[in-house]
């Protein structure tokens, strides 16, 4: 098992463990990590390792602690990660120990860091212009996040899309799983560290809904409110340079300190709306605010979506309108 799409894979890792079901699950997960440009081979017996190293370009061997050190060293002299249940009694100084039953995302992170002294060399990147699509509405409880996620999933069928939720109460336990782990606040922190490899950090942070990738939202509202416009700009800049994503889809809530600053960064802004009298009043006030703040130019990027139609129609309209606008602008 080593194939992935049609592109040439130059580096490979080999997983050797007698627990074949575990090996199969881990290999499948690694192959689904579309941001990691590495092939995966598997075997259950250490005597097969030498065969795979002869026919492929194996950079790292993940091997069970059940195989003694002298045997591990004999079959593969390169970088080795020893898969353990608790602690490996005969770990070599050149080996990395890894608990096989911890988070698969953490396992991926260790593998990426081990694959190269320059881990970013085995991470996929997309070069060229990236676009930022914002979803914002002055009208609350209109289905904005549901629309953003369904629109993002549809968009992600044809390109790599990263969804970032920037709402005070993003919907843990509903839209997103309530789990511990790194979220958007951690991604922002890593983006501030210019000597850090953001792409490597992201490999253990990415979750998926269908084809759509996302990072867990910030859990504490005050942390979200404290993020400056410059920090958002820096994050988007680094994601554009160091990730595989052609499109960043940002779901903007009213807790953002500088909403206008964020909207200014967007190539397109989807604005869900409704036709009732109260919704119309809010849209009129929104337009008035743009004029007062001299941000009328944002209207040129704005794509309004009527949410009184069903969600499937709303998403289809959004995709069609985006294609039309991009065709007109030459994006």
Q: CA-based diameter of the chain, in Å?
A: 77
| Run of H or E including 32 | helix 20-32
Domains of the chain: 12-122 (3.40.50.10850), 131-329 (3.40.50.300)
| Cα-Cα end-to-end distance for the chain | 38
d(CA 15, CA 61): 6
Rg (CA), the chain: 23
Q: What are the residues whose beta carbons fall under 8 Å from the beta carbon of 330, sequence distance 6 or more?
A: none
- What sections of 33-164 are H helices per DSSP? 49-55, 69-75, 104-115, 144-155
Residue closest to 34 by CA, chosen among 213, 198, 201, 214: 213
Q: From residue 293, how far is each of 148, 229, 283, 287 by CA, in Å? A: 26, 17, 15, 10
The first and second tokens of residue 79, run together, are 């970088």
Strands 131-135, 268-273: parallel, antiparallel or unpaired by DSSP? parallel
d(CA 118, CA 64): 26
Residue 181: Cβ within 10 Å count: 13
d(CA 286, CA 160): 32
What sign results for the dihedral spanned by CA atoms 321, 252, 173, 200? positive
Residue closest to 63 by CA, chosen among 54, 72, 51, 52: 72
Encode the chain (331 residues) as per-residue pLDDT tens digits: 443 344 434 567 889 999 988 988 888 887 777 666 667 888 888 888 888 887 767 888 899 999 999 999 888 878 899 999 888 888 988 888 999 888 777 787 777 777 655 454 555 555 556 899 999 999 999 999 999 999 999 999 999 999 999 998 888 878 888 777 789 999 999 898 876 677 777 877 888 898 899 999 999 899 999 999 999 999 999 888 888 899 999 999 998 988 999 999 999 999 999 999 999 999 999 999 999 999 999 999 999 999 999 999 999 999 999 999 888 766 5
Helix (H, G, I), strand (E, B) or coil at 303: strand
Q: What is the per-residue pLDDT for 88?
A: 85
């Amino acid at each position: 098992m080593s194939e992935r799409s049609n592109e040439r894979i130059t580096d490979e890792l080999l997983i050797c463990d007698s627990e074949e079901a575990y090996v199969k699950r881990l290999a499948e997960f690694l192959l689904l990590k579309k941001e990691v440009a590495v092939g995966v081979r598997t075997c259950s017996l250490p005597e097969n390792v030498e065969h795979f190293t002869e026919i492929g370009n194996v950079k790292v061997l993940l091997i069970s602690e059940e195989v003694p050190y002298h045997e591990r060293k004999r079959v593969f002299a390169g970088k080795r990660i020893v898969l353990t249940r608790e602690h490996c009694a005969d770990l070599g100084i050149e080996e990395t120990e890894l608990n096989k039953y911890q988070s698969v995302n953490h396992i991926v992170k260790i593998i990426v860091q081990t694959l190269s002294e320059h881990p970013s060399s085995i991470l996929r990147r997309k070069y060229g212009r990236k676009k930022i699509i914002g979803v914002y509405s002055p009208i609350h409880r209109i289905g904005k996040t549901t629309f953003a996620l369904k629109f993002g999933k549809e968009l992600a069928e044809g390109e790599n899309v990263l969804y970032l939720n920037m709402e005070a109460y993003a919907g843990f336990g509903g839209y997103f799983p309530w789990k511990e782990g790194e979220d958007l606040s951690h991604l922002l922190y890593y983006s501030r560290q210019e000597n850090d490899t953001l792409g490597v950090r992201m490999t253990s942070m990415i979750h998926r809904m269908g084809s759509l990738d996302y990072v867990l939202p910030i859990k504490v509202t005050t942390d979200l409110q404290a993020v400056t416009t410059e920090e958002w700009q820096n994050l988007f800049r680094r994601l554009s340079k160091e990730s595989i994503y052609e499109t960043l889809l940002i779901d903007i809530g009213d807790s953002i300190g500088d909403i206008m600053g964020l909207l200014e960064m967007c190539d397109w802004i989807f604005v869900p709306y409704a036709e009732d009298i109260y919704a119309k009043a809010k849209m009129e006030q929104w337009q008035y605010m743009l004029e007062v703040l001299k941000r009328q130019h944002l209207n040129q990027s704005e794509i309004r979506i009527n949410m009184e139609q069903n969600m499937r129609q709303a998403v289809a309209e959004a995709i069609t309108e985006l294609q039309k606008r991009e065709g007109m602008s030459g994006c």
